[in-house]
Amino acid sequence: MKVVTEYKISLYCCMMNDCNKSYSTKFNLKRHVEIVHLKQKKHKCEFCERFFVSQQNLREHTFIHTGAKPYQCSICNAYFRQISQLSLHKRNHDMQENPKGYCLDATALGPKLMSLTELVIQKIKEYPF
């Protein structure tokens, strides 16, 4: 059990549309209001004239135009345009190293052919949650 020894005090509360979000700095509150409530897009792509809410979103969008893939997998050295793509990719490595649940192995059923839907239903019946 984790014991909380420190409390974070948020002094700046969002009062728009019953949002109830709070922040420790005025800057973070302002950024929240601009992005979430006002939908302000200040960052313009120099290639296609699209606008983005954050510099990071613009940066990753720009990679589409430049072809850059700056995020590299430390396991297999594959490259990705977005850090979220790399994170999803790394899950595949994690699943291979530490498989969870059960495997839907159609070859284990022998000569009996079934659709993927039938296979899933059979496995759920065998291993109810």
What is the per-residue pLDDT across 91-124, written as a single tens digit (0 to 9) for each?
888 777 766 654 555 555 555 555 666 767 777 7
Q: Confirm whether 47 is domain-assigned.
A: no
Q: Is residue 49 situated within a structural domain? A: no
For residue 85, what are its two tokens? 């793509």
- pLDDT surpasses 60 at 76: yes
Residues 22 and 13 sit within 8 Å (Cβ to Cβ) = yes
Determine, yes or no, domain membership for 54: no
Question: What does pTM read for this prediction?
Answer: 0.49
Domain that holds residue 5: 1-40
**Is the residue at 16 inside a domain?**
yes
Q: Which residue, chain included where needed, has tokens 């059979």?
A: 122
Q: Strand 79-80 to strand 71-72: parallel, antiparallel, or no bridges (unpaired)?
A: antiparallel
Distance of alpha carbon 59 from alpha carbon 91, whole angstroms: 24
Number of domains comprising the chain: 2
